[in-house]
Every structure is written in structure tokens, then in C-alpha cells.
Structure 1
Amino acid sequence: MNPKSTIKGRGAQLNVHNRFFQLSHEMRDDFLEFCQKEDEQVDKNKTLYLPVFPKTIVNKVESPDVGMQYSMNSYQGCEHGCIYCYARNTHEYWGYSAGLDFERRILVKKDSPKLLEALLKKKSWKAHPIVMSGNTDCYQPAEKEFEITRQCLEVFLKYKHPVSIITKNALILRDLDLLEALTKDSLISVNISITSLSENTRRILEPRTASIKKRLETVKVLSENKIPVNVMLAPIIPSINSHEILPLAKAASDNGALSIGHTIVRLNGAIGEIFSDWIKKTMPDRADKVLHQIESCHGGTLNDSRYKTRMNGEGKIAEQINNLVKLGRLKYFKDKRKPKLNTELHEQFKDGQLKLF
């Protein structure tokens, strides 16, 4: 990989065309030559935080194979820059590219706690676990500044409502006090995403995420404080991290995780172009092999939207991956059980305090 030819600290190396736009932009060679002669920066590579004001914050999940009924996303776009992220496509709905814009134009929903509280107070609302976040990471770098996730956890605690968290950032430990309070009533579960035990792999796949060491330490600290943790080995990418499944499962179990989950990478929509461009620049020696193996898991295409098969794939390579995960569960999690979240308390706390009558 030639560092001069890549954008430092980012996953995507280009902005792909937004499918909803009639016009497109391109970086012309004569403009690049002019910038070089004038010693001007072509791209400042800065992250912008842009406030948005939605009317609601909790979404009902219609897809039958994602394992959640409701999700909320206080941030759209994600500075972590994971090259494979399925959420990239959603940035096009906001008028941005799924490529670099997804990592550098972060939409911030500051009203999230207020909107969440309004929902939980509704008489018609029945408690179901709500996932933070079903789309982008609720503990991405923006959370250090805005603390929206922490405020939302305070709302969940106040109304005794179950919540599940998905993250790959050690920043979650900042909120250990709230997580401990929630776990006393079985109101919290945490999913930590760990895709590799190699820092070299982590740095190119997920450039602005917490280190592997930090993530394993996070699993350990949460587990030691009785907070149930599931580790997501997601996504598994053939010939990049597929050989690490059993070591990852062991590391997760050794640090206290109660279970593991996994998906096989799929490159829907604009992600296929973004990922293909990235791997040809970062791993040119195996780019074609990896892309062909991904295709073999999804009926000969990178783009797989078929329910039930899209997550676990099909074919021999997918079968090998799924069998290794099953073996990992049998070998390292045989006697472990993840507790069910408590949905019984919320009705008594609809107004924020215990109802006596």
C-alpha cells in the first residue's frame, strides 16, 4: 500500500456517486495538477458534525433476519470508517456519498434523549428492547463531544426500559456507572464487535476504531461487572479474517463474553464499489481472490439482499465459516448463557417513578 496514494485515517478512498442524484462530481487531473503546482491542499480530510432535527428517534425494524425489533441512531454516518459497513448506503438518503462523506459528514441528533423520553412515556408504548444503534456506532468519536448516548442511557434507567448496545469503541466504559445500574434489573446487554486479533488488519479495515487490546479489555471489564456481553465476529471476510474465527472465539470467552455472533460480509449497493477500490489499493496481491470468494458466498454476486441467506451466505466457503463458528460456540461457550432482557418493569415506571397504585 502506497501511503502517498491513500487518504490517511480513512477507510473509503473515494466518494462514490449518490444514486439519488442526477449530477455527479469528479476530481479532474488538471485540477490536481494545479493544486500541486500551487502547493494547495486538494482535500483537508476534516470531519464535520452537522445537527439534524428528526421528529422521532426510535425505528421499527422490518427486516426479519437482523435480530432486533426496534433501533435508534443518534448519529448518522460514522467516523470509525469501517470499509465494509452496511450502513454506508443509508447516507445517500441524507444527500451524501456512501464513501468518504459517510466518515466525514456526521449528522448529530441532539434531541435524541428528549424524543426517546416522549416515546417511553406514551400509554400505547409496550416495552421491547431498543438497540443503540442498529445502523451506526453510538460510541463513535462524536460521542466524546456530545454525550447523547449517555443521556439516552439515563432515560432508559429512569423509565426502567430494556436497551441493548452495539459498539466497537472502548468509550462505553465511560458510562460504566449507568450500565451497572441498568444491569441490576436486567435492563442492559452489550455487543462488542471484534473482527480480528491483528492490529494490522484492524487498522486498514476499521481505521478509527479502538484497538483490539482495548476492545478485549472492554469485554473483560464489562463482564467483571456482571454486564452481559456478546462478541460479534462481524463481518467475517474470506481470506482476510476467516482464519481467525476460533482464536477470536477463544479470546472472547477468555475475557468473559457469554456468547458470540457472526455475519459473512456482503457488499450491497455502493459498498461494492467502495470495497473493491479499497482492497485493490490496500491488498492488491489478493484483491481478486477475496472478491471472488465473497461472490461465491452470495450466489456469484457481491450484492446479496436475500433474507435468511444474506447474513450467513451459501456455498462451500460460507459453510466452512459457519461450521467454524458453530465449533467455536461448542468449544468455548458450551456452559454459558446470555440472560434475557427484562420488559416487565417499564409499565410501572411510565411517569419516571414507581407507581404504587
Structure 2
Amino acid sequence: MANEDPASPARLHKGRGAASNLAGRFVPHVSTRESDGWQTEEEPLERLLTEAIAEKAKTIISSNRSPDLPFSQSINAYRGCEHGCIYCFSRPSHAYVDLSPGLDFESKIFFKPDAAALLEKALRKRGYQCSPIAMGTNTDPYQPLEKEKRITRALLETMQRFNQPVTIVTKSQLILRDLPLLAEMAQDNLAQVAISVTTLDNDLKRKLEPRTAGPAARLRALEALSGAGVPTAALAAPMIPALNDSELESILAAARDAGASQANYILLRLPHEVAPLFRQWLAEHYPERAAHVMSLVQQSRGGRDYDSDFSQRQSGTGVFAQLLQRRFRVAIEKLGLNRRRLSLDCSRFRPPPQSGDQQSLF
């Protein structure tokens, strides 16, 4: 699919989030679709199939030094995400492999078949300092391809053997496949799970996050995980001004009722190509309020679509952002959320013996 100018007329693919294959910022040339006046009816769109592409990775653990993120290392088993969330801040990463952050991001999915072997190698390295590994920080570890590839499952099995703590963020009920394993790890204080609940409105969910589990399914996943003893959190993210921000309190209440003890929120982030993709999506689905939404976004981002400053990129600035933050604080106090800080146990970390190891005499 050719890279397209964001001004080109959008043609929606059923079950996909992006309205176009917007060119990445490193592409020197783009193509624009124009009518020559001879064809009165557009040809029907071909079904956009998902392509799985094996990626030969050299390492699997990424380090993080961003001061606004609560983890120092992470793993992403997949690049791209079939969930198709239009707001996904990871979309620009596809530009680094000369693909579009638009439809390519949600239909050309890279997977790392050697992820578990690479993780074992990393955990056995002399001098490895154990700290929780975060999964789901870039793309969802339980996106549809995981059902077939089982890479996240293999990574979790490796972590359990090493007593390596892990935190997971997902929108998918597929995580319940691994519930027995996560429950065992949680007994040793080695696992925490956050479920992202963006909206309780099924119609908005279908437009905003077309291939994700519905709101009720996510709450059931929260309930099952917490019921099995896995510490759970709800992530009300992203909060989009004049679109879903009015649901903040109801999302937090529903998550608390499902067993979550922790919660957080993130204001909509629109880095790089995400901004024009989101604007195009708004024009297609909510044209009557598009200008109002973007006005509030810019009021919260110093007059721009996005400000990447670490001190405020998660929560924004300005009147709207301050009000949202105040509402969140009042809600979690009322609901009894975030009463105690959860921390995982890194003291249990031990590389398991392997063939040829020198056995200790003591």
C-alpha cells in the first residue's frame, strides 16, 4: 500500500483504526489520490489482511531512562499492533522500518521468535541487576498474533524459572490464558497486571480501538485476575478531551468494583505522525466536535498538538489538564484506590542450574 498524504480522501477499512496509510516522517516522497473525472464510482476496497513478519532481534531487554515512567527495563515481543487503536503513541515506530504509522502499523506486525532464548541469555549474564521487567509499554503483548505465536507465554515461563518479576499492561482478555501461571508468580510477589480501560461505551470502543476486547470483557479480566490473587490496576488511558474524559470517574468505579486496587490515567498523547492520523480519524467519526477536541488538546499542550517534555507529557498543562488531575485525585480517594504502593520482590531472582554448571559444595 502506497504512503499517502494526510489530505488525501480517506477510505475506511472495516475493523481498522487508521483512515489512511499516512507517510512516515522519513519518507522523501508521498502519493496523493486524485480523481480524473472519468470514474464515477470508486472501486471497493480489498480486505486488508494482517501480515506477520519474523524479526531477527539481537537483544530483547530495552532500558528506560525516562523519569516519568515507573520502570527501568522492558520487553516488547511485537512491533506494530493489530488492535488498531488510533491514538497509539507507538505508531511512529513503524517509520523507522520504512513503513506507515497508519494502516501498516496495524497490519504489518513484526514478531520476535527467539525472544525467550534471548531473555534467558540476558538473565544469565554476569552482572545482571534484577529489576521488574515491564511488558506492554510499546505494543500489547496479548494482541491477536500472540494466540498463535505464544511469545509472551514463553517469556513469562522463562521469567518464572528465574524468579524475575514482571509487570504487564494489556487491553486483551487473552491474558486469562496465562492466569494460572500469573497466579503462581503473584504468590511469590513476582507479577502485577494493569488493564487499560479507555471507555465503557461499546460504540466508541469500536471506533477508537477496533480490534480490542470490549469494556465488559476487560472488566471481567480484571475480576478474574484479582480473584486469583494477581495484584491489578486499571489504566484509564488515554483520556481524550470532549470524547471520553467524562467517563473518568465511572471507569475508575467499575475497575474498583472488579477488584482493582490501583489506578492511573494518561492524557491523550499525539507524537509525530499520530497527530495527523488522529485528526483524520476525528474528521471521519466525529466531525461535529473535531475542532473542539483539538482545541482542548492544544490548550493542554502549550498551544501545540503535543509537547514531549517529561515533566508533563503524561498529564498535560493548563486549565483542562489541571481539572482532570483534580477529578482523578478526588475519585481515587473516594473509591479507596492507590491506598498502598505495590512493589515486586527482586530478592528471589536466581538463574536456574543448567547442564555443565559447577555445583556448590556448601
Are the equivalent residues in 2 in contact too, given 1:228–1:338 (CA < 8 A)? no
TM-score (norm 2): 0.92
Of 181, 188, 210, which aligns to 2:184? 181
Q: Deviations over 1:30-55 (max 9, x none)?
A: 5994994xx6x544311111111110
Deviation at 1:68, TM superposition (A): 1.5
- Look up the equivalent residue of 2:56 and give its one-letter code: F
Of 283, 287, 300, which aligns to 1:284? 287
Give the equivalent residue in structure 2 for 1:67: 70
The reply to whether residue 54 of structure 1 matches residue 54 of structure 2 is no
Deviation at 1:22, TM superposition (A): 1.6
Q: Mind listing any 5+ residue stretches in structure 1 that lack a counterpart?
A: none
Secondary structure of the residue that 2:18 maps to in structure 1?
Answer: coil
Change (3 A) 1:232 1:160: same
1:145-224 → structure 2 map (5 Å cutoff)? 145-224=148-227
Give the equivalent residue in structure 1 for 2:234: 231
Q: Deviations over 1:216-244 (max 9, x none)?
A: 00000000011000110011001111111
Give the equivalent residue in structure 2 for 1:17: 23
Are the equivalent residues in 2 in contact too, given 1:158–1:352 (CA < 8 A)? no
Deviation at 1:213, TM superposition (A): 0.5
Change (3 A) 1:184 1:172: same
Change (3 A) 1:35 1:91: farther
Of 85, 90, 95, which aligns to 1:87? 90
Are the equivalent residues in 1 in contact too, given 2:13–2:45 (CA < 8 A)? no
Give the equivalent residue in structure 2 for 1:96: 99
- Look up the equivalent residue of 2:351 and give its one-letter code: F
- Look up the equivalent residue of 1:295 and give its one-letter code: Q
Deviation at 1:67, TM superposition (A): 1.7
Change (3 A) 1:84 1:119: same
Change (3 A) 1:352 1:274: farther
1:92-171 → structure 2 map (5 Å cutoff)? 92-171=95-174
Change (3 A) 1:343 1:69: same
Change (3 A) 1:30 1:101: farther
User: What CA distance in whole angstroms lies between the structure 2 residues aligned with 1:315 and 1:216?
Assistant: 32
Give the equivalent residue in structure 1 for 2:14: 8
Are the equivalent residues in 2 in contact too, given 1:159–1:351 (CA < 8 A)? no
Q: Percent identity over the alignment?
A: 36
Q: Deviations over 1:297-334 (max 9, x none)?
A: 11011121111111110111001111111011101125
Give the equivalent residue in structure 1 for 2:255: 252
Change (3 A) 1:80 1:196: same
Give the equivalent residue in structure 2 for 1:327: 330
Task: Give the structure with the larger helix fraction.
Answer: 1
Change (3 A) 1:291 1:177: same
User: What CA distance in whole angstroms lies between the structure 2 residues aligned with 1:66 and 1:27?
Assistant: 41
Q: Which moved more, 1:192-201 or 1:41-50?
A: 41-50
Q: Deviations over 1:172-215 (max 9, x none)?
A: 00001110111111000001000111111111110100010100
Change (3 A) 1:33 1:123: farther
Deviation at 1:245, TM superposition (A): 0.9
Secondary structure of the residue that 1:203 maps to in structure 2?
Answer: helix
Deviation at 1:62, TM superposition (A): 2.2
Q: Which moved more, 1:327-336 or 1:51-60?
A: 327-336
Change (3 A) 1:352 1:88: farther
Are the equivalent residues in 1 in contact too, given 2:162–2:351 (CA < 8 A)? yes
- Look up the equivalent residue of 1:168 and give its one-letter code: K
- Look up the equivalent residue of 1:151 and give its one-letter code: A
User: What CA distance in whole angstroms lies between the structure 2 residues aligned with 1:74 and 1:308?
Assistant: 28
Change (3 A) 1:42 1:323: same
Secondary structure of the residue that 2:198 maps to in structure 1?
Answer: coil
Change (3 A) 1:32 1:276: farther
User: What CA distance in whole angstroms lies between the structure 2 residues aligned with 1:352 and 1:314?
Assistant: 52
Change (3 A) 1:129 1:34: farther
Change (3 A) 1:158 1:43: same
User: What CA distance in whole angstroms lies between the structure 2 residues aligned with 1:187 and 1:32?
Assistant: 64
Number of residues of Structure 1 aligned to a counterpart in Structure 2: 350
CA RMSD of aligned residues (A): 2.1
Secondary structure of the residue that 1:261 maps to in structure 2?
Answer: strand
Of 329, 349, 353, which aligns to 2:351? 349
Are the equivalent residues in 1 in contact too, given 2:62–2:74 (CA < 8 A)? yes
Give the equivalent residue in structure 2 for 1:340: 343
User: What CA distance in whole angstroms lies between the structure 1 residues aligned with 2:336 and 2:311?
Assistant: 24
Q: Deviations over 1:104-151 (max 9, x none)?
A: 110011111111111111121111100112200000001011010001
Deviation at 1:339, TM superposition (A): 2.7
User: What CA distance in whole angstroms lies between the structure 2 residues aligned with 1:210 and 1:52?
Assistant: 26
TM-score (norm 1): 0.93
Are the equivalent residues in 2 in contact too, given 1:192–1:215 (CA < 8 A)? yes
Are the equivalent residues in 2 in contact too, given 1:81–1:206 (CA < 8 A)? yes
